[in-house]
């Protein structure tokens, strides 16, 4: 939690609350259009945000024509706006199940087999499309899936969002040592948990992500190995109408070693992003290597 006063936190969060209440009764198509417009206005016109997306796109796609990168930027800004609005009304995903198409396949079969056997499972994904639609789809099938969350600096934003995240599946685990211990107990007892693997981590290993080095957490793969849990990549892909989603569960990642499995997680998401770059959250500082892992690597390289 930040050191900001409660008043400053309230003022900072107020526009989001106003927009949410002003649009919540709109038809979904209208609300989605407003959300996309807001996302474009913010990301395209706030210099720091625009530079971050442009820098990440240029980092991954240095040879891509500038016009194509700009088109991705604009479409991505709209999708981020849609997602931010949806997150503040996450409970609707669980009730509007006609918006969610679940694709049968080996990954879903593995989860259903784990549930039938009373075993836990780990789902891995990234901030791609509408990621919480995955948990909504699982909850509707009797496979409620918890998740890891990180407290936001703004106390009012945090208070608004936590109930929405919980509506998609419980329990939630704080991104703290205690939260990780609770997650381990949950999956060992037969629970499911979803983990977003596309943000930089201070203690990760440097692996490849979209052809560039990126710090990557390996603890989830280690957990899958230690307790013999299926590790299933899952994605909530936004359909062209902007308000409905297709859920795809990839085959479980084979159990080998934590580094190999974590690289497979990166490769899975990278393939999705390359296919639909407009749907990934390009605002992440994914390739920032100023972490303890990078310092260790630099020391090792220096002898």
What pLDDT score was predicted for residue 302? 56
Alpha-carbon gap, residue 201 to 246, rounded angstroms: 29
**What is the number of structural domains in the chain?**
1
Q: With 90 as the cut, is the pLDDT of residue 61 above it? A: yes
Q: Which residue has the tokens 């079969």?
A: 109
Residue 298 corresponds to which tokens in the numbers above?
Answer: 């630099």
pLDDT for the residue 132? 92
User: What is the residue range of 57's domain?
Assistant: 6-301
How many CA atoms lie within 13 Å of 174's alpha carbon, on the beta-carbon side?
A: 8
210: left (phi over 0), alpha (psi -120 to 50) or beta: left
SS (H, E, C) 150-169: CCCCCHHHHHHHHHHHHHHC
Name the pLDDT band for 270 (thresholds 50, 70, 90).
Answer: very high
Burial classification of residue 80, based on how many CB atoms lie within 10 Å of its CB (0-12 exposed, 13-18 middle, 19 or more buried): buried
- Output the pLDDT for position 202: 80
Q: State percent of the chain over pLDDT 90.
A: 72
Which residues, 6+ apart, have CB-to-CB distance to 141 below 8 Å?
Answer: 102, 112
Checking if the pLDDT of 196 tops 70, the result is yes
Any idea of the CA torsion for 113, 116, 119, 124, to the nearest 10 degrees? 50
Asked if residue 268 is part of any domain, the answer here is yes
Q: Is 209 helix (H, G, I), strand (E, B) or coil?
A: strand
d(CA 105, CA 119): 19
Domain-located, residue 1: no
Q: Which has the closest alpha carbon to 126: 236, 277, 250?
A: 236
- The confidence score (pLDDT) of residue 167 equals 85
Cα 74 to Cα 45: distance, rounded to the nearest angstrom: 11
pLDDT of 214-247, one tens digit each? 999 999 999 999 999 999 999 999 999 999 999 9
Integer Cα distance of 34 and 23 in angstroms: 8
Cα of 80 vs its chain's centroid, Å: 12
Burial 219-237 (b: 16+ CB within 10 A, else e): bbbebbeeeebbbbbbbbb
Q: Yes or no: say if 292 and 215 are a contact pair by the CB < 8 Å rule.
A: no
pLDDT tens sequence across 144-190:
999 988 888 888 888 888 888 888 889 999 888 899 999 999 999 99
Say what the pLDDT of residue 1 is.
Answer: 46
CB 236 within 8 A of CB 120: no
Question: Residue 291 is part of a domain; what is its CATH number?
Answer: 3.40.1130
* pLDDT tens string 87-126: 888 888 888 889 999 999 999 999 999 999 999 999 999 9
User: What are residue 206's DSSP bridge partners?
Assistant: 215
d(CA 30, CA 24) in angstroms, rounded, equals 10
pLDDT single digits (tens) 68-89: 999 999 999 999 999 989 988 8
Q: Is the pTM of this model over 0.85?
A: yes
3-state SS, residue 238: strand
Answer yes or no: is pLDDT of 300 > 70. no
Q: What is the mean pLDDT of the chain?
A: 91
CB 278 within 8 A of CB 72: yes
What is residue 68's three-state secondary structure?
helix
Instruction: Reply yes or no on whether the pLDDT at 297 is more than 60.
Output: no
The C-alpha atoms of residue 186 and residue 208 are separated, in whole angstroms, by 30
């Amino acid at each position: 939690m930040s050191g900001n006063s409660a008043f400053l936190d309230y003022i900072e969060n107020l526009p989001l609350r106003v927009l949410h209440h002003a649009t919540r009764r709109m038809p979904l198509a209208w609300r989605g259009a407003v959300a996309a417009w807001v996302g474009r206005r913010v990301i395209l016109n706030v210099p720091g945000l625009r530079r971050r997306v442009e820098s990440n796109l240029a980092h991954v796609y240095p040879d891509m024509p500038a016009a194509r990168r700009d088109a991705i930027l604009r479409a991505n800004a709209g999708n981020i706006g849609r997602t931010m609005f949806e997150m503040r009304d996450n409970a609707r995903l669980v009730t509007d199940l006609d918006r969610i198409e679940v694709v049968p396949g080996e990954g879903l079969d593995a989860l259903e087999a784990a549930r039938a056997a009373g075993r836990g499972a780990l789902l891995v994904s990234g901030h791609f499309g509408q990621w919480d639609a995955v948990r909504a789809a699982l909850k509707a099938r009797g496979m409620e899936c918890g998740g890891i969350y990180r407290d936001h600096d703004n106390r009012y934003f945090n208070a608004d969002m936590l109930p929405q995240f919980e509506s998609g599946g419980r329990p939630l685990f704080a991104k703290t040592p205690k939260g990780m211990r609770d997650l381990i107990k949950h999956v060992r007892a037969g629970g499911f948990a979803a983990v977003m693997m596309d943000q930089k981590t201070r203690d990760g290993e440097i692996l490849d992500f979209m052809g560039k080095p990126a710090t990557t957490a390996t603890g989830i793969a280690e957990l899958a190995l230690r307790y013999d849990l299926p590790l299933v990549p899952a994605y909530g892909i936004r359909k062209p109408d902007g308000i409905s989603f297709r859920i795809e569960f990839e085959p479980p990642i084979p159990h080998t070693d934590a580094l190999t499995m974590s690289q497979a997680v990166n490769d899975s998401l990278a393939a999705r992003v390359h296919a639909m770059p407009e749907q990934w959250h390009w605002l992440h500082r994914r390739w920032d290597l100023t972490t303890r892992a990078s310092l260790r690597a630099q020391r090792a390289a220096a002898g």
